[in-house]
Structure formats: structure tokens, C-alpha cells
Amino acid sequence: MAIRLGETAPDFTAVTTEGEINFHEWLGDSWGLLFSHPADFTPICTTELGRTAALKEEFAKRGVKAMAVSVDPVDSHHEWIKDIEETQNVKMNFPIVADEDRKVAELYDMIHPAMTEKTTVRTVFVIGPDKKVKLTLTYPPATGRNFLEILRVIDSLQLTANHSVATPADWKQGEDVVISPSVSDEDAATKFPKGFKTVKPYLRVTPQPDVD
């Protein structure tokens, strides 16, 4: 059964390239990025793991820990890491789960029903500090994931979790946001001292509240 937004991310204990990890304990109070790969030594996934490693500081600024899942054994992962570091010019800096028994893949509904048992659905899960699933994104096998989009969405999730706003289409960090309809104009005047513009009664725009 697919995991829905707002549900608790399933906990698990697994062997990884950084030793045995309990997922919820490892997350602690951080945000989490959990993403799946079909198998080791696959071309698109090699670039994705390298890109994630290269963006470590960006994820760290947002309090996000990354973890990948592949159904190959840990020894294979370590060999694959050598290729990732060589071809992507990075140092791997986050764990890869060795999901040989497909326990994690099945917990997160990652096994593609119409393909081989090693073809995991290429899904991204963003998990909040409350261990709830905040976002899922699923990509086809031939399309590499857009990690700048993932960072953008995390920015939105973190902003909207702390302020009564939503982010409009194509929003980026520092741009204007939309005031939630549940906030009255009177309350909005207090909550948003920078002011707001009423485009329509249901569409009120204000500068991003956590940016000076």
C-alpha cells in the first residue's frame, strides 16, 4: 500500500555503508531525505548519488539528512561508491542501505509490480522531524531526479510549517508568498508586518516572512 502524505514514515533497522542504522533514531530531530535506487552500478543513479553528496552543505543548512536505498549487498555498495567518487568527483558522505531482503523497499512500496524484483520504484520521500511523510516524488527509470527542485520543496515545506503561508507556482527562496485563506485580514495585518497585497479576497500576497 502506498504511503500517504502525513503518515508516519515506517521505521526500520538496516545494514548500511555507515554501519547498522535505526532509521528513526538516525533521523533524530532532523528532516530526512530517503530515496530509492534499482540496483548498484546503474548510470543515472550514479549521477544522483554524486549530486546528493555534492549538495551536502545545502542539505545541512536546512537540517536535512540524506539516505539512499538499494537492493544490493553492502559490499557491492562499497564498490559502487568507488565509481561514484571517481566519476562524479565527490566524496560520499551519506549512507546507502543494503536492502538485500527488500524489507525497506516493501515497507515503502518501492518494488515495481510490473518489472523485475530488483527494479525499485524511483521515489523520493521527504520526512519531517515529527517522522511524518511531507513529500513523495516518483520518477521514471530514464529521468534523473532534479535535486534543486527537491531543495526548493524542502524550503517550502519548512517555511509553510512555521508560518501561515503557502508558496505559489515556481516559488523560490526569498520570493513573495501567499497568505493562507484561514487567516483573516485583521490577523494578517498582525502576522505579516511587512504588509500584504490583496489580488483577490482569496489571493493575498506578502513578502516571505522569515527573510529580513
Q: Which residues are designated catalytic?
A: 45
- Main-chain phi, psi angles of 18, to 5 degrees: -115, 25
Q: Which of 154, 167, 168, 182 is nearest to 60 (CA)?
A: 154
In terms of residues, how long is the chain?
Answer: 212
Contacts 24+ apart (CB under 8 A), 155-164: 155/62, 157/31, 157/126, 157/128, 158/31, 158/62, 159/208, 159/209, 159/210, 161/128, 162/210, 163/191, 163/209, 163/210, 164/191
Beta-bridge mates of residue 138: 123
Element (H, E) at 200: strand 197-200
Q: What is the rounded distance in angstroms from the CA atom of residue 145 to the CA atom of residue 33? A: 13
What is d(CA 137, CA 153) in angstroms, rounded to the nearest whole number? 11
Contact 97, 69 (CB under 8 A): yes
